[in-house]
């Protein structure tokens, strides 16, 4: 496993308090400041820790409607150009290539249902997109989370 218990405690501490600082983290964890810095550097180098930025609530930002849009791509279309166009739509906040009937699963936010229609209209105009199907999120009882996984991962 790429992390041990100290790494997991370190990640949990920074997840709870991203602005804590290396010195305070070392004090709370009972390890040297250099140890904390070296471990953070290693976790970033391995791609396990990908950032310390603020988490943003899209609803509080003015986009309370969250949807998942399944996209079918026309065979033979240039997916790189299509993905560049999708990146240009600010309301597209995540995209995954998937298996099954659709080719992409895209998370889209909107200011309202009417605004969602505008965004979907924008999506279907992207060259290479053949068909979409939109699923509206009613509630999010389990938001995106990784800490239970981090806590379950450490090697002894």
Structure confidence by residue, pLDDT tens digits, 38-80: 999 999 999 999 988 888 999 999 999 999 999 999 988 888 8
Going by C-beta distance under 8 Å and a sequence separation of 6 or more, which residues neighbour residue 80?
Answer: none
Sheet containing 65-73, strands listed edge to edge, beginning at the edge strand earlier in sequence: 92-97, 104-110, 65-73, 129-136
- Considering the entire predicted model, what is its pTM? 0.85
Mean of the per-residue pLDDT values for the chain?
Answer: 94
Query: Is pLDDT above 70 for 21?
Result: yes
Structure confidence by residue, pLDDT tens digits, 75-101: 888 888 999 999 999 999 999 999 999
């Amino acid at each position: 496993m790429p992390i041990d218990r100290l790494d997991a405690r370190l990640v949990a501490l920074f997840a709870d308090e991203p602005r804590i600082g290396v010195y305070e983290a070392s004090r709370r964890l009972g390890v040297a400041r250099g140890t904390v810095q070296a471990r953070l550097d290693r976790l970033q180098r391995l791609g396990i820790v990908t950032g310390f930025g603020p988490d943003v609530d899209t609803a509080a930002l003015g986009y309370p409607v969250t949807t998942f849009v399944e996209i079918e791509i026309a065979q033979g279309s240039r997916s790189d150009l299509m993905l560049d166009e999708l990146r240009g739509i600010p309301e597209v906040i995540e995209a995954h290539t998937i298996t099954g009937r659709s080719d992409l699963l895209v998370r889209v936010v909107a200011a309202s249902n009417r605004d969602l229609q505008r965004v979907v209209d924008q999506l279907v105009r992207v060259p290479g997109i053949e068909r979409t199907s939109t699923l509206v999120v009613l509630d999010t009882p389990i938001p995106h989370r990784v800490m239970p996984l981090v806590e379950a991962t450490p090697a002894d």
